Structure 1
Amino acid sequence: MSDETDDPKALAGADGGDEQEQQNTPPQLAVLGQYIKDLSFENPNAPASFQAKEQPKIDVAVDLQANRMAEEVFEIDLKFSAKATQGEKVAFVAELVYTGLFGIKNVPADQLEAVCLIECPRMLFPFARRVLADTTRDGGFPPLMLDPIDFVGLYQQRIAERQEKGEDAGDAATITVAEDNNSKNNGGTN
């Protein structure tokens, strides 16, 4: 009987200590799965596009979306759209949605959006980069090697845009977010 009263966990549960125990538990982030959700490659002017003498101009757009699938499970979509042009002609168009399922525990609600839009895409990026490079290479072009993306900068830009619009910058209850930077080359190309 004395074992029951000496057990700190039993005592903590009796006086509301479970809440304190949860606060002391470190945040956890786990990749539950990752996969290609959508992949498209178009080479509309082949074989003429292979014979062009000028280097193609490549524009890359990055888009992020996070959706809550369950209490502690989030689906993160990392989207790329790359368009290469040679003069007025399109050399190729590549589009990729690379998705990860993440288990996220013990993260305060006010930090959940940042974890979903910074840390999760940062973990997915190397795999998505490889898929895009392999796809352009298999399409007959040099591999499209994206430079690392500043997901912190994208997130800060998104927060600033929401504040300008008068929206709540910290609303983590709605984790449906889109970072659309079509006019910028956020990833860089080689």
Structure 2
Amino acid sequence: MAENEQAQQEQAAPQFAIQRIYTKDSSFEAPNSPAVFTKQWQPEINLDMNTSTNKLEEGVYEVILTLTVTAKNAEETAFLAEIQQAGIFTISGLEEQELHHTLGAFCPNILFPYARETVDSMVNKGSFPAVMLAPVNFDALYAQQMQQRMAEAEASQEAQH
């Protein structure tokens, strides 16, 4: 009897494992080269981020973090670097809300340093100065996104009444 209870507790215990981290897609463009190299370098850097999740099988998920870095110098696009950094994660034993948080914040937190390094490498290979992206608080972004969804849901409910 005790063995059966122990097996149930082990089964219900949260499980998290990284199966693989990989670059799913990457691109680098320097549309105004070589002219961009003759101008004084005072770039305006813009970072766009997005995450998506694919359920591969029960308890196995692919999380994709997409970073798009655009550098403009004197109103011209100096470079555009895009990376899709992905990971395959095994996750079980979590409530639905915990699972969404893990997929929406915890996994992107794991992927970000890899994506950041890839962007920096691409930019350097394009003969531009290093771009060290600042760390991102995915927990705060996730919380903000959840608040926005709740506000939109409340607004649509009020509009229906």
TM-score, with length taken from structure 2? 0.89
| Percent identity (aligned) | 35
1:183 corresponds to: none
More helix as a share of residues? 2
CA displacement at 1:108 relative to structure 2: 1.7
What CA distance in whole angstroms lies between the structure 2 residues aligned with 1:137 and 1:85?
16
2:22 corresponds to: 35
More strand as a share of residues? 2
What CA distance in whole angstroms lies between the structure 1 residues aligned with 2:116 and 2:75?
27
SS in 2 for 1:147: coil
Structure 1 runs of 4+ with >3 Å offset: 17-23
CA displacement at 1:18 relative to structure 2: 5.4
2:127 maps to 1:137: no
What CA distance in whole angstroms lies between the structure 2 residues aligned with 1:113 and 1:44?
38
* Equivalent of residue 97 in structure 2, options 110, 118, 129: 110
2:158 corresponds to: none
Alignment of 1:35-54 (within 5 A): 35-54=22-41
2:16 maps to 1:9: no
The higher radius of gyration belongs to 1
Residue-by-residue CA offset, 1:68-98 (whole Å, 9 max, x unaligned): 1111101100000111111221100111111
Alignment of 1:78-157 (within 5 A): 78-157=65-144
2:46 corresponds to: 59
Cα RMSD (Å): 1.7
SS in 1 for 2:55: strand
* Equivalent of residue 148 in structure 2, options 161, 171, 182: 161
Give 5+ residue unaligned stretches, structure 2: 155-161
2:157 corresponds to: none
Answer yes or no: is the 8 Å Cα contact 2:67–2:82 preserved in 1: yes
Answer yes or no: is the 8 Å Cα contact 1:135–1:143 preserved in 2: no
CA displacement at 1:8 relative to structure 2: 2.1
Matched residues, number: 154
